[in-house]
Structure 1
């Protein structure tokens, strides 16, 4: 079953069986607990939805930013990615009382490095934990480098994973990690599989980006370890639609899936740190129109 079909089935399930719940944001959700999707990447097809346009370059740029270890939105805004602006913007407005527009806030972050250092920081979020996890002894641990080395030297290991749920640093994060754990498995035929555990999934806005980013990551890791892409397995914990996303979800259900796109890498960098957005080539992507919705902060 293709990505769109699995995604639309999830929407139907949430709309039909979702538990109406109050949530941290105050918006309210319909929520189910426990869901799984599976995507075979071996033939180049990737789970970029066609029943609405997914801005796949934004999702890939976000994944590349995670891999740098970055935690400040300035690096994202410099390449036109605004999906993390809501949290520091809300904090700035609360702390200063200034009703600054988002575009003006973002422009100031880009133009003023000192302002960005004060107001654009997200805390020890994904990239920090992936690349610079701080141990109790003061040593930093690069989980991604360790993963790549293990994929190359001990692919039968059952310990090939990285995660971002660092209990000691959760309170300092603008948003605790939603896509928490990435575990990897290499088959006897040399295919790399990935299981992504996501504790909290905003089904309308978040999940499509997470699927796209995880697919890009799998392609990069497979290439760096001389493996072939295999299966991406996504497991969602609290899978929800926000109450102000229900009409948009119903609209998406009226759309027929179109042929799935493919993704390939145009070159092989020397390391996992060498990838750029230009290295990702997506072909055959002809989606329906975008569906807009507000992010719950």
Structure 2
């Protein structure tokens, strides 16, 4: 059994047994602990969960979206990636221009009202199609504001200049590997209150070089353990492998440090189902050896090898 995956399963069990029952912004309610940490030895394999199927293509295309500095869901939709739709859709249905049926609390209502669920699907599909086909509409309602990609690649300074944090940190790893400043931050206090569709949950990460290996630690302020965290683990493990590839290093550890670490109350049954399953061996990642730079990355440059998993487990997203 993979120690990597067991770290995640143990965290789920701890939250179910010891979590504090709390209310939250979405009105769903959570079971929460504070200050958890998981460590993943990337030499053991790629930490994509096997106790439920996780869509690697969604993780890879989202990471490429971040790396490119993009903040508009149009690229994601064109790559059949729907993981950010709800936040953009929420902006659209709350706008003065929207004239369709009432979509208030669409995430929860669609679970208990079949007629509403059909209406929601129709409105969401129309929204997605319009974002894909209408660049002007996409620019206004497909953009999520200065979320991860913008902060990683074009952090706005008080002087009106921009900082390409990701490019600078890669250059620093190459030229000064022992530095303690290999840090990228997505948490920009000026942008959080009003400009972002969703304030960054994974707020900052730091690289560390030792013995020819690259490790990464992520601090995540808010962690949706069932739906979000499996993606976060795989995304930052993949980012670590890509940066190591570019810098000519082997991979070390991915260390995942979490603040408010929670399971939504309407995810408990799904978590229990996952905990009843036995993990498979972890898959591996192959990166195109001819890839000149992480900034030239395409989906075809990454291959997931030998992924075996239990079936996916569906659960509602809290928006």
TM-score interval, smaller chain: over 0.9
Q: How does 1:277-296 map to 2 (within 5 A)?
A: 277-296=299-318
Asked whether the equivalents of residues 32 and 263 of structure 2 are also in contact (C-alpha less than 8 Å), the reply is: yes
SS in 1 for 2:207: strand
The unaligned stretches of length 5 or more in structure 2 are: 102-121
Instruction: State the aligned residue count.
Output: 295
Superposed CA deviations along residues 158-215 of structure 1, whole A, max 9, x for unmatched, are: 000101100011120000000111101100x210010011110000000000011101
Q: Using structure 2 for the length normalisation, give the TM-score.
A: 0.90
Task: State how 1:158-173 maps to structure 2 within 5 Å.
Answer: 158-170=180-192, 171-173=194-196
Aligned equivalent of 1:220, options 228, 242, 255: 242
Aligned partner of 2:73 in structure 1 is 73
C-alpha distance in structure 1 between counterparts of 2:89 and 2:81, whole Å = 14
* Distance (whole Å) between structure 2 residues aligned to residue 109 and residue 32 of structure 1: 38
Change (3 A) 1:135 1:98: same
Stretches of structure 1 lacking an aligned partner (at least 5 in a row): none
Instruction: Give distance in 2, aligned partners of 1:3 and 1:55.
Output: 18
1:42, distance to aligned residue in structure 2 (A): 2.4
The residue aligned with 1:28 is 29
1:168 and 1:119 mapped to 2: Cα distance?
Answer: 21
Choose from 214, 218, 234 the match for 1:192: 214
Of residues 235, 238, 247 in structure 1, which corresponds to 2:260?
238
Counterpart Cα distance in 1 of 2:189 and 2:224 = 22
- Cα drift, residue 259 of structure 1: 1.1
RMSD: 1.1
Who is 1:131 aligned against? 153
Distance 2:52 2:209 in 1: 32
For 1:140 and 1:7, how far apart are their aligned partners in 2?
37
Does the 8 Å contact 2:4/2:41 carry over to 1?
no
Query: What's the offset of the Cα at 1:47?
Result: 0.8
Conserved in 2, the CA contact under 8 Å of 1:3 and 1:48? no
Give the drift of 1:97. Answer: 4.3
State the alpha-carbon separation in 2 of the partners of residues 97 and 166 from structure 1. 33
Please say if residues 133 and 142 of structure 1, whose CA atoms lie closer than 8 Å, have aligned partners that are also in contact. yes
List aligned pairs for 1:35-46, cutoff 5 A: 35-43=36-44, 45-46=45-46
- Structure-1-length-normalised TM-score: 0.97
Question: SS where residue 167 of structure 1 aligns?
Answer: coil
